[in-house]
């Protein structure tokens, strides 16, 4: 960490900072320039309280150098994390990207879900997604079928052999959801629900976190760090867009560049969600491709047997037919990417 | 709700929308223009699924007209909500704005908290704030003293007669925190933790919600609606700034205009938090004044007996002496505002 | 346009709006609902003053329906605009995407520029870009070699047969720059410099506009409309990223989805600039690919013979060697995309 | 400037950076830590090319310490800039805040403007504002009466003795506008039209710049620096709001905290524009008060004799009667602020 003193800082102000740092276990290295003094604090980032230092008299700015995440960082672990499931399916690293496919929300009729699952299986997808507990902006919107929804996911999973990804919204629901889910999803609005992150980590299950609508990449990786710090290494990140100033044509601004950025700074698998990330059906396929060519380890897509009558997010869901056409082209793109380096 | 059809929409596409609306209990009124047809859907907003309609062929845009919040809306309740506590203290409406004062985080030593509480009481403040459970971006940052912190708040409260405001981060902690708190605070990062909102509402305690860092005012009022819809009318909103693109000089962008906007559309009390909203000590007093002159029902301020050694957010906390000077001027401003209309 | 009246609007308030509309040449169609009245104004969008209507008593909201751009709109012109240059090079439509390549800023030594141009030509690129007039945030940063820079571009262009793209910052400079440029570039910071847009349009030269750092897509298309409305149809749009709240890892947030969105609503060619859009060399190639797979008509890339010593934006420029490797893969991707539909 | 090297940077990479710095006239001070080396570059910020350094191998991050603006900085000039006009009116420092009042756009009829000017004069306002050249997002919106508008402003100015503030959009228009204007306004969309900034500075007239919709405070002060660097010290800054993600209830997010922030880092006068900053008539008065209590040196307000028929921005303009009521309360607030410290 670097502490930049004001040009007019007095010697006693400088010494006060040095003394604070040394008391707290840091080595303070002074850099006296013609204009100002800069102090480098060498030591354990975890013990450093930037705000405490910033409030000393004569301090102009405190700059962090090393990233505050350790376990999520590629410096600590140069090799890609690969998560392997009991059925041999793997996500992360150089493995072929995984598709997570299904309706935004599991509906009252089982049949529609089974039709989606059958189509997904047929197209080679290994993960079935579907919300049983749904976070909704308005209390009057449909909140999900809860346990009934989980049971349906189980039926579809047993029928097709697909793995289940579903969202958990509250620590109280964890034991129930763990009976059904292969991956616990933490939604964007809970990215900084730290109690939930820790509790989900402690289950030992793979956890997929979506970035919050105004989360920085650093905050996103720190959310992952909450899970990793419970001793659970199975964390997947999902880019689902951030809030922009233009919501006329898309629901969110999908930050495609975040994928190669995260892959540079972290070893964790990253997938892309063009359905929530754009909110528009016609944008799902192009943005899925964009995610794949920049290195995403997977794509999450909403597919519904009858999107016009979906209880949530119909406008961004593909029909089964559109999905099959899309998968044909995505599979082809993945084939090419496997064979040669494009 | 207004459904705008594409200029080239066919009659059968128009009829499909009409039929969808009528099946779902709406009256559909057609407006056939020279260029395009516009359909007004009259009925219960709560039953309306904009996305379902948007995905019909030939639909160009779906526009909501009435606000989706009902209980939080001033249309439904023209008179200001005033929350009265057992000791007669009131917040909301034309009552003198209330000050919520204390350290960001309750510390290990009781003494500092008591000194802050004594000073706050002396300056006429009725609410003592302090975090016992702390949401922190990094898992390595201090997470709060939990129950011990709550006990300290109780001691300070009994000594001074001040009411306690403290944050709840998880449904599991609610029973414990309810024993100690007079107002349950929901932090910005949990603004859309809907399970927590409902559970907090069900306790019957006053609940104060802070706006999420990327929350729109509509989303903020819908979060309040979650609590109100449990039958608990005691909701306070707290404007604490939003994430902007410029974080060099302030931590957040405090949206001062949000206060008169919310007061126009809702009857709920709104307070301002210039400490988190700016993250800079020197900005707390000017922004507190700004909040008061635009009509805030209260101000939340961080005060610490020794901010340079605070375990969190020291850089934005006032010292006890700075706080007393600030309160002198804020009390004077509130006196003037009570006497005359400025 | 739709005017939504307040539920409590009186008949005379409604009539005042109707009368205003009719006086201004619109047909007003009333839609009297159980809750509120909605008025559709049918007529020429160009004559409509939404703010004037919004300020009438009893008006709740004014909603625009048709897009305010006409000439830029795909409704008005369903076929893609293709711009053909004298040497037969074409940009837009189904033509192979065009690469615009060169240093951010033309430097003092001609030799470096020629080396870049030679490499670009060798890789099949048809456009040479380079700044002679440079907009710089600080007045103390290097502002470009102006006419000398233009001359160098000309030399490199004559040597290689490449077309020249260069930025114009002021109406006064237009005559000079027109002598040298094949495409006039309007930079992001001048996207709403309306005098410059019109003057550039009036030259009859192809004009490429970059989106402003906080421009909505609608504002972007309206900037294009300024040029088109001078009678000049040769407009190219360039997506170069918007300002986000996270500038730690990238300089801007490149809005990849904007490309298919713009192509849906407009017939104009759209290119992507991953160099400015990310500000990081290692992100240029992946984001160029992302742009291509979502349908961009071209890619603008900064290449410098010695980026470490570049007078501006070195950190985002590719070396000549990196550029050649990148082009090998981009050309391969474009080959595949031409042969088959991926 | 601080250059932070990667933990794994080699000695030769470190020496390459040192050598670059020394070649460019900087003193390089090395700070070799246990984990990484940090190099402080002491010298003239104006000569420093952060991007050039960032692209050296082994460089992790380049951090600027001193602010890149010099002339605008309070460090260079501790005393407030006060601009005095020929008639003795002063803006800046401890002088009573100045009101800049008038229609968004000068209209065809002189009479309305005169009525506004008379009312403004009567309320003690010294500046008449009005647009003769209007930047409009759409080419189909009214663009101003140009020279005719300037003449009307002159007539109103001569009648009332008020000073004229009007916008300049292009360098070509400067000579004409200088004949009529006492303050040249540079609009938000031209904040980074650097040619215009310099040309306006060179006229020697006072120049008022509005912040761009996505400008950081640093960029804003650098725009001021462009003018100051022409030798013209008469620069006024105007906070008019930034683009936020929520434009449902306000047109922009008015950053009230920017006023005390700018006043801490710069000596220049800062005024607030609650009309454009909120876009809503009912928010003008509260936000004007907020601006005053945080230290603004003035308020710009739109007033129109008949806002419902205004050719632009009617929804945010006050009627003459509303304006008079507002000024009564603002004058009272300024009286109190002069008498005592609130």
Tally C-beta pairs within 8 A across C and D: 140
> In whole angstroms, what is the distance from residue D75 CA to residue D79 CA?
9
Q: Which residue of C has its CA nearest to A332?
A: C342
Q: B2 and C63 in contact by Cβ < 8 A?
A: yes
| pLDDT grade for D34, boundaries at 50, 70 and 90 | low
In tens, the pLDDT along B168-179 reads 999 999 999 999
Please state the domain count of chain B: 2
Average the pLDDT over D212-234 and give the result.
Answer: 95
Question: Is C11 within a domain?
Answer: yes
Sheet containing A59-63, strands listed edge to edge, beginning at the edge strand earlier in sequence: A27-32, A37-42, A2-5, A59-63
- The neighbouring-strand residues paired with D276 are none
Question: Is A310 within a domain?
Answer: yes
Average pLDDT taken over every residue of chain A: 91
State whether D58 and D88 are in the same domain. Answer: no
> In whole angstroms, what is the distance from residue B324 CA to residue B326 CA?
5
CA triple D328-D333-D334, angle to 5 deg: 100
Average pLDDT taken over every residue of chain B: 90
Q: D217 and B340 in contact by Cβ < 8 A?
A: no
Average pLDDT taken over every residue of chain C: 91
Q: Residue B55 is nearest to which of A45, A193, A308, comparing CB atoms?
A: A308
State whether C194 and C97 are in the same domain. Answer: yes
Q: A4 and D2 in contact by Cβ < 8 A?
A: yes
pTM (two decimals): 0.87
Cβ(B42)–Cβ(B90) under 8 Å? no
Q: What is the CATH number of the domain that holds B107?
A: 3.20.20.70
> In whole angstroms, what is the distance from residue B219 CA to residue B225 CA?
9
State whether A31 and A96 are in the same domain. Answer: no
> In whole angstroms, what is the distance from residue B206 CA to residue B182 CA?
7
Is the pLDDT at C67 greater than 70? The verdict is no
pLDDT at C45: 63
Q: C137 and D222 in contact by Cβ < 8 A?
A: yes
| pLDDT grade for C76, boundaries at 50, 70 and 90 | confident
| pLDDT grade for A3, boundaries at 50, 70 and 90 | confident
pLDDT at C341: 58
CA distances from C237 to A318, C89, C186, C209, C296 (A): 29, 17, 10, 5, 10
Highest mean pLDDT among A110-114, B46-50, D35-39: A110-114
Q: Residue C289 is nearest to which of A216, A246, A294, comparing CB atoms?
A: A294
State whether C128 and C159 are in the same domain. Answer: yes
> In whole angstroms, what is the distance from residue A322 CA to residue A216 CA?
33
> In whole angstroms, what is the distance from residue B289 CA to residue B127 CA?
18
Q: A214 and B219 in contact by Cβ < 8 A?
A: no
Q: Which residue of A has its CA nearest to D253?
A: A245
Is the pLDDT at B113 greater than 70? The verdict is yes
Q: Is residue B31 within a helix (H) or strand (E), and if so which, with residue range?
A: strand B27-32
In tens, the pLDDT along D196-220 reads 999 999 999 999 999 999 999 999 9
pLDDT at D214: 92
Q: Which residue of A has its CA nearest to B319?
A: A55
State whether A139 and A231 are in the same domain. Answer: yes
Average the pLDDT over D140-155 and give the result.
Answer: 91
Residue D329 belongs to what domain range?
83-339
In tens, the pLDDT along B315-336 reads 789 999 999 999 999 999 999 9
Q: Taking CB atoms and an 8 Å cutoff, what residues of chain C touch D49?
A: 310-312, 314
In tens, the pLDDT along D95-136 reads 999 999 999 999 888 999 999 999 999 999 999 999 999 888
Average the pLDDT over A169-196 and give the result.
Answer: 96
| pLDDT grade for A35, boundaries at 50, 70 and 90 | low
Cβ(B175)–Cβ(B181) under 8 Å? no
In SS3 terms, chain A reads as: CEEEECCCCCHHHHHHHHHHHHHCCCEEEEEECCCCEEEEEECCHHHCCHHHHHCCCCEEEEECCCCCCCCCECCCCCCCCCEECCCCCEECCCCCCEEEEECCECCCCHHHHHHHHHHHHHCCCCEEECECCCCCCCCCCCCCCCHHHHHHHHHHHHHHCCEEEEECCCHHHHHHHHHHCCEEEECHHHCCCHHHHHHHHHCCCCEEEECCCCCCHHHHHHHHHHHHCCCCCCEEEEECCECCCCCCCCCCECCCCHHHHHHHHECCCEEECHHHHHCCHHHHHHHHHHHHHCCCCEEEEEECCCHHHCCCCHHHCECHHHHHHHHHHHHHHHHHHHHCCC
Q: Residue B245 is nearest to which of D216, D246, D341, comparing CB atoms?
A: D216
| pLDDT grade for B143, boundaries at 50, 70 and 90 | confident
Cβ(A26)–Cβ(A42) under 8 Å? yes
Residue A185: Cβ within 10 Å count: 24
pLDDT at B62: 79
Q: Phi first, then psi: give them for residue A33, nearest 5 degrees.
A: -95, 175
pLDDT at D35: 64
| pLDDT grade for A105, boundaries at 50, 70 and 90 | very high
Q: Residue A214 is nearest to which of B20, B214, B222, comparing CB atoms?
A: B214
pLDDT at A45: 63
State whether C51 and C162 are in the same domain. Answer: no
> In whole angstroms, what is the distance from residue A167 CA to residue A193 CA?
13
Q: What is the CATH number of the domain that holds B13?
A: 3.30.70.1140
pLDDT at B131: 93
Three-state DSSP class for residue B224: helix
> In whole angstroms, what is the distance from residue B274 CA to residue B265 CA?
22
pLDDT at D33: 62
* Least confidently predicted of B115-124, C117-126, C211-220, D17-26: D17-26
Question: Is C91 within a domain?
Answer: yes
Question: Is B68 within a domain?
Answer: no
State whether D87 and D214 are in the same domain. Answer: yes
Q: Is residue C208 within a helix (H) or strand (E), and if so which, with residue range?
A: strand C207-210
Cβ(B197)–Cβ(B171) under 8 Å? no
pLDDT at C34: 59
- The set of residues, in sequence order, having a beta carbon less than 8 Å from that of A16 and lying 6+ positions away, is A56, A57, A58
Pick from B288, B289, B286, B280: which is nearest to B318 by CA? B280
pLDDT at B200: 98
Q: C172 and D194 in contact by Cβ < 8 A?
A: no
pLDDT at A213: 93
Is the pLDDT at D42 greater than 80? The verdict is no
Pick from B312, B291, B174, B313: which is nearest to B240 by CA? B291
Is the pLDDT at A127 greater than 70? The verdict is yes
- The set of residues, in sequence order, having a beta carbon less than 8 Å from that of B158 and lying 6+ positions away, is none
State whether B116 and B221 are in the same domain. Answer: yes
In tens, the pLDDT along B184-201 reads 999 999 999 999 999 999
Cβ(B265)–Cβ(B235) under 8 Å? no
Q: Phi first, then psi: give them for residue B136, nearest 5 degrees.
A: -130, 135
Q: Which of A63, A93, A109 is the last residue of a domain?
A: A63
Residue A55: Cβ within 10 Å count: 24
Is the pLDDT at D31 greater than 80? The verdict is no
Q: Which comes out higher in pLDDT, residue A198 or D33? A: A198
Q: A29 and D33 in contact by Cβ < 8 A?
A: yes
Cβ(A80)–Cβ(A267) under 8 Å? yes
Question: Is C68 within a domain?
Answer: no
* Least confidently predicted of A150-154, B12-16, C84-88: B12-16
Is the pLDDT at A106 greater than 90? The verdict is yes
| pLDDT grade for C65, boundaries at 50, 70 and 90 | low
Average the pLDDT over B81-93 and give the result.
Answer: 97
Is the pLDDT at A138 greater than 90? The verdict is no
Residue C328: Cβ within 10 Å count: 13
Average the pLDDT over C175-184 and give the result.
Answer: 97
> In whole angstroms, what is the distance from residue B285 CA to residue B325 CA?
10
Question: Is B76 within a domain?
Answer: no
Q: Calculate how close chain B gets to C19, using CA atoms only, in Å.
A: 18
Question: Is A72 within a domain?
Answer: no
Is the pLDDT at C40 greater than 80? The verdict is no
Cβ(A89)–Cβ(A117) under 8 Å? no
> In whole angstroms, what is the distance from residue B107 CA to residue A325 CA?
59
Pick from C78, C63, C65: which is nearest to C5 by CA? C63
Residue B36: Cβ within 10 Å count: 19
pLDDT at A159: 97
In tens, the pLDDT along B224-283 reads 999 999 999 999 999 999 998 888 889 999 999 999 999 999 999 999 999 999 999 999
In SS3 terms, A70-118 reads as: CCCECCCCCCCCCEECCCCCEECCCCCCEEEEECCECCCCHHHHHHHHH
pLDDT at A6: 81
State whether D52 and D116 are in the same domain. Answer: no
Average the pLDDT over C205-212 and give the result.
Answer: 98
Three-state DSSP class for residue D167: strand
| pLDDT grade for C315, boundaries at 50, 70 and 90 | confident
- The set of residues, in sequence order, having a beta carbon less than 8 Å from that of C300 and lying 6+ positions away, is C99, C100, C101, C129, C165, C238, C240, C271, C272, C273, C275
Average the pLDDT over B27-40 and give the result.
Answer: 73
CA distances from C321 to C114, C120, C283, C317, C326 (A): 15, 11, 16, 11, 9
- The set of residues, in sequence order, having a beta carbon less than 8 Å from that of D321 and lying 6+ positions away, is none
What is the ipTM metric for this complex? 0.87
Is the pLDDT at A49 greater than 80? The verdict is no
**Interface test mutation site (partner B, options A48, A51, A232, A248, max chain B beta carbons within 10 A):** A51
> In whole angstroms, what is the distance from residue A205 CA to residue A232 CA?
8
Q: Calculate how close chain D gets to C250, using CA atoms only, in Å.
A: 12
State whether A181 and A294 are in the same domain. Answer: yes
State whether C33 and C169 are in the same domain. Answer: no
- The neighbouring-strand residues paired with A340 are none
State whether D263 and D154 are in the same domain. Answer: yes
pLDDT at B24: 80
Question: Is A157 within a domain?
Answer: yes
Q: Which comes out higher in pLDDT, residue C291 or C25? A: C291
Pick from C246, C247, C317, C314: which is nearest to C285 by CA? C317
Q: Calculate how close chain D gets to A72, using CA atoms only, in Å.
A: 17
Three-state DSSP class for residue B247: coil
Is the pLDDT at D163 greater than 90? The verdict is yes
CA distances from B304 to B139, B208, B239, B307, B319 (A): 23, 22, 21, 5, 6
Q: B248 and D218 in contact by Cβ < 8 A?
A: yes
Q: Calculate how close chain D gets to A32, using CA atoms only, in Å.
A: 9
Average the pLDDT over A77-95 and give the result.
Answer: 96
- The set of residues, in sequence order, having a beta carbon less than 8 Å from that of D320 and lying 6+ positions away, is D115, D116, D119, D303, D305
In which region does residue B38 sit, left (phi positive, over 0), alpha (psi from -120 to 50) or beta (all else)?
beta
> In whole angstroms, what is the distance from residue D322 CA to residue D283 CA?
12
| pLDDT grade for D44, boundaries at 50, 70 and 90 | low
Burial of B246 (0-12, 13-18, 19+ CB in 10 A): buried
In tens, the pLDDT along C213-254 reads 999 999 999 999 999 999 999 999 999 999 988 888 899 999
pLDDT at B189: 94
pLDDT at D101: 98
Neighbors of chain C by Cβ distance (3+ pairs < 8 Å): A, B, D
Give the up-direction half-sphere exposure of residue B30: CA atoms within 13 A in the CB hemisphere. 15
């Amino acid at each position: 960490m670097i502490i930049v003193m004001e040009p007019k800082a007095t010697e006693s102000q400088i010494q006060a900072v040095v003394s604070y740092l040394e008391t707290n276990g840091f080595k303070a290295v002074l850099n006296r320039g013609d204009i100002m003094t800069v102090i480098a604090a060498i030591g354990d980032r975890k013990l450093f309280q930037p705000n405490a230092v910033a409030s000393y008299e004569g301090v102009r700015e405190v700059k962090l150098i090393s990233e505050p995440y350790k376990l999520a960082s590629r410096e600590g672990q140069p090799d890609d994390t690969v998560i392997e499931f009991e059925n041999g399916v793997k996500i992360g690293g150089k493995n072929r990207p995984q598709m997570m496919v299904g309706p935004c929300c599991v509906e009252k009729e089982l049949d529609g879900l089974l039709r989606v699952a059958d189509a997904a299986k047929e197209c080679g997808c290994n993960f079935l997604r579907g919300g049983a507990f749904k976070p909704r902006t308005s209390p009057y919107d449909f909140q999900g079928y809860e346990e009934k929804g989980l049971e349906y996911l189980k039926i579809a999973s047993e029928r097709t052999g697909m793995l289940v990804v579903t969202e958990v919204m509250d620590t109280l629901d964890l034991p129930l959801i763990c009976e059904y889910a292969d991956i616990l999803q933490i939604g964007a609005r809970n990215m900084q629900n730290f109690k939930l992150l820790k509790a989900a980590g402690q289950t030992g299950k793979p956890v997929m976190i979506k970035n919050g609508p105004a989360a920085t990449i650093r905050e996103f990786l720190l959310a992952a760090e909450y899970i990793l710090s419970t001793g659970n290494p199975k964390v997947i990140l999902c880019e689902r867009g951030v809030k922009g100033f233009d919501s006329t044509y898309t629901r969110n601004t999908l930050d495609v560049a975040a994928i190669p950025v995260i892959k540079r700074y972290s070893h964790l698998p990253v997938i892309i969600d063009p359905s929530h990330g754009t909110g528009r059906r016609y944008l799902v396929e192009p943005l899925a491709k964009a995610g794949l060519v920049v290195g995403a380890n997977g794509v999450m897509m909403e597919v519904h047997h009858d999107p016009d009558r979906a209880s949530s997010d119909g406008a961004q869901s593909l029909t089964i037919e559109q999905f099959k056409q899309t998968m044909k082209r995505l599979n082809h793109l993945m084939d090419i990417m496997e064979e040669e380096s494009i």
